[in-house]
Amino acid sequence: MKPLYGPFIGRPHHDIYMARAVNLSFLADVARSYYDAIAFPPGHVYLESLQAKAFFDTGHPEQALQIGRRATKRAQELNLPDFVWRIEALMGEGLLRAGRKAEAEQALRDTQIAVDRIVGALGSDRDKRRFGVNKENITVYLTSLDFERRDANTLFQDLERGRARAFVDMLAAVDLSKTHRDLDELREVSRLARPKVLASELGQAAHTRAASGDELEDLIEKRTQQVERVRRRNAALADALTVHVPELTAIQATLGAHENLLYWLPGFPEDPLRTLVISRAGTQSLELPLTQRRLRETLQQFHAAIARQGGVTQQRIAGELTELLQAKSWMGASGSYVLPSGSLHFVPWGILDISQPVVVIPTAGWLLHRSPVQAPHSAAVVGDPEFGGKLPPLRAARREAIAIAKYYGDLSPGGPTGRRLRQGLAEGAG
């Protein structure tokens, strides 16, 4: 740790660190007295959480665990659900850095349970980071541990849970009752829940905080029951309201014999790209010699080439992306479903040198709710509109439209169908 005053006094003596530690300890004691004087027990949760983080950061996990567990117990007693998961996450991350993986995983799984219980019910979580932890890191750490063990089933569960949690959290700020009238009661419960959380965190009298906490518990339970009633009528809608994770075998059963699904793991910029490849026949773990940072830099080069209209450069980078992602090694013979993470969200899959389709989906559970698509017997393929001569012609779009039209018979502009279409549209067709 580099002190703020280091650059001004040169090499600091160890007594300076000792004096600083004494000052911080004194300030902590003052803070405790202040919180007691104003009857604000949640302040102790803040303080102990920060102390636990400081002990982890300075390499003292035992002291950090002792204080962190005390903070968790306080948060539970004070009905502070938004603090419980953050403190557990803080301990999980600290234990992971200390190399205590088994304890870290247990803390992170406790975090996941605490988060899933409240997500969606408390409104959209805009304050995602506190005490240096956030919800996304829970999934990063757990999936990394799953991948190391090659535990495909748990890895899928953690990936899908993290992704479902993000969607529920995002949709918490959206009033779905405008399009689904049967959600009015559920919206009212969520509206009442958020003030109860704020009441428990703010400096109110002890009996007021306790009452708010008890009411919050009742509201969360009531919301859970209402979501289950919605699920019986509309499972897809219920999945937008609460975290729901399907079984891996159920997802495998939806895939065609020559299709697969790639669930890309979240990670940090220097982490290698890793994915869980799921097919009807089984699963495979795959790690690429490509980091998130390298992929982002390559995509930035591609976007710059688009801005410069450098066609040759674009083609070169497209080939490079195909090789970096090793797309030909994991593509399903009939196509692949992809659940991207990080920079993979910005990959233009259509430019890769592959012939099979890539379909980006929001969650794996989406496959359970998709409607069967009936192939049309006829089609109108349009390319290179003239726009009254106001815009330059798109010759590549015209060639693409003609190529697609061949799959539906003779739809070319010079063919019989094309001539009838031109006659029907007069000067509107080219």
Q: In the chain, what are the domain boundaries?
A: 39-239, 254-369, 387-428
d(CA 127, CA 427): 56
Contact 250, 237 (CB under 8 A): no
| Stronger pLDDT, 255 or 415, i.e. the higher one | 255
Domain 254-369 has CATH 3.30.70: no
Confidence tier at 398 by pLDDT (50, 70, 90) = confident
Q: Which pLDDT score, from 0 to 100, does residue 223 have?
A: 73
Contact 24, 3 (CB under 8 A): no
d(CA 321, CA 347): 9
The dihedrals phi and psi of 339, each to the nearest 5 degrees, come to -115, 95
Residue type, 301: Q
d(CA 404, CA 422): 18
Q: What is the pLDDT of residues 3-44, one digit of tens each?
A: 444 444 445 544 444 444 445 455 677 777 777 777 777 788
Write the CA distances from 3 to 8, 49, 50, 54, 64, integer angstroms: 10, 22, 18, 14, 21
Residue 148 pLDDT > 60: yes
Residue 92 pLDDT > 70: yes
Q: What is the pLDDT of residues 171-202, one digit of tens each?
A: 666 666 666 666 666 666 666 666 665 555 54
Average pLDDT of the chain, as a whole number: 78
Question: Measuring CA to CA, which residue among 17, 15, 32, 92 is closest to residue 56?
Answer: 92
Residue type, 360: V
Q: What is the pLDDT of residues 319-354, one digit of tens each?
A: 999 999 999 899 888 899 999 999 999 999 988 988
| Stronger pLDDT, 111 or 384, i.e. the higher one | 111
| Stronger pLDDT, 417 or 327, i.e. the higher one | 327
Residue 232 pLDDT > 70: yes
Residue 315 pLDDT > 50: yes
Q: Which pLDDT score, from 0 to 100, does residue 411 have?
A: 57
Write the CA distances from 348 to 128, 292, 297, 299, 360, integer angstroms: 29, 15, 14, 9, 11
| Stronger pLDDT, 115 or 361, i.e. the higher one | 361
| Stronger pLDDT, 241 or 77, i.e. the higher one | 77
Domain covering 39-239: architecture: Alpha Horseshoe (1.25)
Q: Which pLDDT score, from 0 to 100, does residue 131 have?
A: 46
Look at 47-61, 198-212, 299-313 and tell me which has the smallest mean pLDDT: 198-212
